[in-house]
């Protein structure tokens, strides 16, 4: 079962067969709020379909496509705002990693660089539905309506269950526990009707490049040679890039 922190219990049963009309209505409303078109449960997860998803979800449970059919960030529409970053810095230390199946392993959210004591704000207006420990870490969960929920941890909360928060209101401060001490972070998760989706399309662009694995390759042009070269780039937690080119 996928919990508030994105943990997985491999023995947990999958969702019950059949989807109620009310559930589909809520899915449609949530997708519309994010600026896309919902993909119904059980539809194909082929490459063409995945290419049209603006906010991919696990195993075909949730999918959002732009009105043009192309993947992209949610469109700005009257009455709906994208999320704001919950921390002063917008550095993504670890991005969303889409699980192969709904209950499979993955990284159901973003790890945003933030040290202990960093103030945390609500990404959008909503109602606090949980503020307390889960698995030894303090978590704050906010219901933004239409099935859209944000989860932030580890956060020492300054709010309580039932509190209404406006976008940008302080909800607590970062504590240690989710990321290694050398690279502290805030974990930000997003769920639509209980299924995790990538939060990044809901947010303004990051201020810095997303961290890449040490063996990630980029292609550049060798100075003065006019020939392409391969460069392995590793972004550090201080946003400096160590580059080795061949």
pLDDT at position 215 is 54
Residues 195 and 118 in one domain: yes
Half-sphere exposure of 85 (CA within 13 A, CB side): 18
Domain range for 217 is: 212-246
Is residue 61, in this structure, part of any structural domain at all?
Answer: no
Q: Are the C-beta atoms of 140 and 131 separated by less than 8 Å?
A: yes
pLDDT at position 207 is 67
Mean pLDDT of 146-160: 96
Quote the CA–CA distance of 143 and 164 in Å, as a whole number.
10
**Residue 49 in tokens:** 């379909």
Q: Are the C-beta atoms of 132 and 113 separated by less than 8 Å?
A: no
Is residue 153, in this structure, part of any structural domain at all?
Answer: yes
Which helix (H) or strand (E) is 29 found in, with range? helix 21-33
Residues 160 and 245 in one domain: no
Buried b (16+ CB within 10 A) or exposed e, 153-163: bbbebebeeeb
Residues 99 and 195 in one domain: yes
Quote the CA–CA distance of 12 and 188 in Å, as a whole number.
24
Asked whether the predicted pLDDT for residue 175 surpasses 80, the reply is yes
Residues 102 and 184 in one domain: yes
Residues 192 and 233 in one domain: no
Residues 97 and 132 in one domain: yes
Is residue 63, in this structure, part of any structural domain at all?
Answer: no
Percent share of the chain, pLDDT over 90: 37
CATH of the domain at 159: 2.70.70.10
pLDDT at position 103 is 78
Residues 197 and 216 in one domain: no
Work out the number of other CB atoms within 10 angstroms of the CB of residue 228. Answer: 9
Lowest mean pLDDT among 2-16, 58-72, 115-129, 212-226: 58-72
pLDDT at position 98 is 86
Number of domains comprising the chain = 2
Lowest mean pLDDT among 20-24, 43-47, 117-121, 213-217: 43-47
Residues 196 and 98 in one domain: yes
Is residue 25, in this structure, part of any structural domain at all?
Answer: no
Look at 53 and 130; give whichever has higher pLDDT.
130
Q: Where are the beta strands (DSSP E) in 44-167?
A: 64-65, 92-94, 110-113, 119-121, 126-134, 137-143, 148-153, 155-157, 164-165
Asked whether the predicted pLDDT for residue 164 surpasses 90, the reply is yes
Asked whether the predicted pLDDT for residue 170 surpasses 80, the reply is yes
Please tell me the pTM assigned to this model: 0.57
Nearest to 91 by CA among 118, 73, 56: 118
Mean pLDDT of 9-22: 42
Q: Are the C-beta atoms of 162 and 142 separated by less than 8 Å?
A: no
Lowest mean pLDDT among 5-14, 66-75, 109-118: 66-75
Quote the CA–CA distance of 212 and 234 in Å, as a whole number.
6
Which helix (H) or strand (E) is 32 found in, with range? helix 21-33
Is residue 31, in this structure, part of any structural domain at all?
Answer: no
Residues 158 and 232 in one domain: no
Binned at pLDDT 50, 70 and 90, residue 150 comes out as very high
Is residue 103, in this structure, part of any structural domain at all?
Answer: yes
For the chain, the straight-line distance linking the first and the last C-alpha, in angstroms and rounded, comes to: 45
Residues 195 and 242 in one domain: no
Residues 100 and 191 in one domain: yes
Residues 190 and 149 in one domain: yes
Is residue 3, in this structure, part of any structural domain at all?
Answer: no
Task: Decide: helix, strand or coil at residue 80.
Answer: strand
pLDDT at position 173 is 98
Is residue 43, in this structure, part of any structural domain at all?
Answer: no
């Amino acid at each position: 079962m996928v919990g508030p922190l994105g943990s997985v219990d491999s023995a947990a049963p999958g969702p019950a067969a059949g989807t109620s009309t009310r559930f589909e209505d809520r899915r449609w409303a949530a997708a519309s709020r994010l600026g896309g078109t919902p993909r119904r449960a059980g539809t194909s997860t082929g490459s063409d379909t995945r290419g049209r998803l603006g906010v991919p979800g696990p195993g075909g449970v949730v999918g959002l496509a732009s009105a043009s059919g192309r993947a992209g960030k949610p469109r700005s529409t009257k009455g709906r705002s994208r999320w704001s970053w919950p921390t002063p810095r917008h550095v993504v230390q670890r991005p969303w990693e889409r699980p192969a199946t709904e209950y499979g392993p993955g990284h159901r959210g973003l790890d945003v660089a933030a040290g202990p004591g960093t103030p945390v704000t609500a990404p959008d207006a909503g109602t606090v539905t949980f503020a307390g420990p889960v698995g030894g870490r303090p978590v704050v969960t906010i219901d933004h309506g239409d099935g859209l929920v944000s989860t932030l941890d580890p956060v020492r909360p300054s709010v309580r269950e039932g509190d209404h928060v406006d976008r940008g209101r302080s909800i607590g401060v970062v504590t240690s526990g989710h990321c290694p001490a050398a690279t502290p972070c805030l974990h930000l998760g997003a769920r639509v009707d209980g299924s995790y989706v990538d939060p990044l399309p809901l947010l303004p662009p990051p201020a810095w490049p997303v961290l890449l694995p040490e063996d990630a390759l980029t292609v550049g042009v060798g100075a003065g040679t006019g020939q392409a070269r391969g460069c392995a780039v590793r972004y550090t937690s201080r946003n400096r890039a160590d580059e080795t080119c061949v």
